[in-house]
Amino acid sequence: MSERAQAAPGRRTVMGAGAAVVGAAALGVTGTARAAEKNAGTSAGHGAGHRLDLPVPTVIGHRGTSGYRPEHTLGSYQLALDMGAHIIEQDLVPTRDGHLVCRHENDITATTDVADHPEFASRRTTKTVDGTALTGWFTEDFTLAELKTLRAKERIPGNRQKNTLYDGRWEVPTFEEVLRWADREGRRRSKPVWLYVETKHPTYFRGLGLGLEEPLAKLLRRYGRHRAQSPLILQSFEPSSVQRLSKLVATPRIVLLSGAGSKPWDFVATGDPRTTDDLIRPAGLKWMASYAQGIGPTLDLIIPKDASGRLTEPTTLVRDAHAEGLVLHPYTMRNENTFLPAEFRRGTDPNAYGDAFGAFAAYFATGIDGIFSDNPDTALLAAADFAGK
């Protein structure tokens, strides 16, 4: 494919507050990769030789290129790579027989054609996942062989009608298939393909006897992505999942943060009184820096919006997180008006593109280290603009 951004941003080293222009973005650069590997299984945490050889700002292909293809398909990942995304995201959930597959959540009603399969009609059910009642079909009720009879489709056809052209084209990929694809593409390009891998609903799945972290760590070891300098970043909204992973592999880790007032589900489950608001204070950031190398906050934690949806003043989160040596990879930038801050919307069609470059510029100006985007080509051009300033 030739849909590739014309320019790539520069590289610089990020050490805490972010600074000098040299070869690589670094996370907690102390010790060596060998030391970090040794630490894995004991206390591999911040400062254990993690070093991300990625451009900054780093462009993360959110669920691949979900602005252009049905999310979490090999087609979506391939296009992200061809566009030049620096790192490509997978969200992971398990099947009934314990295989890890790439879906944003275990409810596959909206992203597959499962409703069109009469043989699975009786599997439709209502479950409570992380406190929310959901009715539909769920990956944990399907074997991998059954799941492989389904086809992926566009999640939000009302917003992204063009993407429905690709409905039915791809299967639900396993994470192992993605690892093989990444290895193959890496060899072809003589350059590693970076992956950004999230454990979804880890407490919920552990309760079903389908813990995510152990099979994930096993795959990372099998494919040589378990080291501090492996081309892969692990992420979770549940700090305990990130901590568990830190004991299994040395691969770099990011703690995801939902909006102000929210609470990680593992905190709810264990009665931990802290909220996201506590985690973004200096003590919370210091705590996360003891086992992770960065955070993935919502964009609203970087620049809150007012009641009309316009951006206000940036918070101190970038400065405070950098002070603890944490990088920031906020989520998610999308080009359509409906997803943009109000001042960047153009015209009256909610699904038309607005001034996405203006919004990217506002977010990059805060000093963030990277960004998740459904439109990696736009993000790359915006990052190049920013790096050229």
Neighbours of 142 (CB within 10 A): 25
Contact pattern for ligand G3P over residues 206 through 245, marking x by CB under 6 A: -----------------------------x----------
- Distance between CA atoms of 214 and 331, rounded to whole angstroms? 26
Checking DSSP bridges between strand 253-257 and strand 294-297, what pairing results, if any?
A: parallel
Residue 169: HSE in the Cβ half-sphere, 13 Å Cα cutoff: 14
User: If binding is defined by CB under 6 A, does position 198 make contact with ligand G3P?
Assistant: yes
Residue from 68, 344, 363, 372 touching ligand G3P (CB under 6 A): that is 372
- Distance between CA atoms of 348 and 46, rounded to whole angstroms? 47
Contact pattern for ligand G3P over residues 288 through 317, marking x by CB under 6 A: --------x---------------------
User: If binding is defined by CB under 6 A, does position 256 make contact with ligand G3P?
Assistant: yes
Neighbours of 57 (CB within 10 A): 27
372 binds, among ligand G3P, Ca ion, none (CB under 5 to 8 A by kind): ligand G3P
Contact pattern for ligand G3P over residues 333 through 362, marking x by CB under 6 A: ------------------------------
DSSP readout, 127-176? EEETTEEEEE-BGGGS-HHHHTTS-B--S-TTT-GGGGGGTTSS-PPBHH
Which of residues 37 and 71 has its CB atom nearest to ligand G3P in the complex? Answer: 71
Residue 292's alpha-carbon distances to 223, 273, 325, in angstroms, are 22, 21, 10
Per rule CB under 6 A, count of chain residues that contact ligand G3P: 11
Residue from 12, 50, 51, 62 touching ligand G3P (CB under 6 A): that is 62
Which of residues 174 and 199 has its CB atom nearest to ligand G3P in the complex? Answer: 199
DSSP three-state, residue 297: strand
Binding stretches for ligand G3P (CB under 6 A) = 62, 89, 91, 104, 198, 235, 256, 296, 331-332, 372
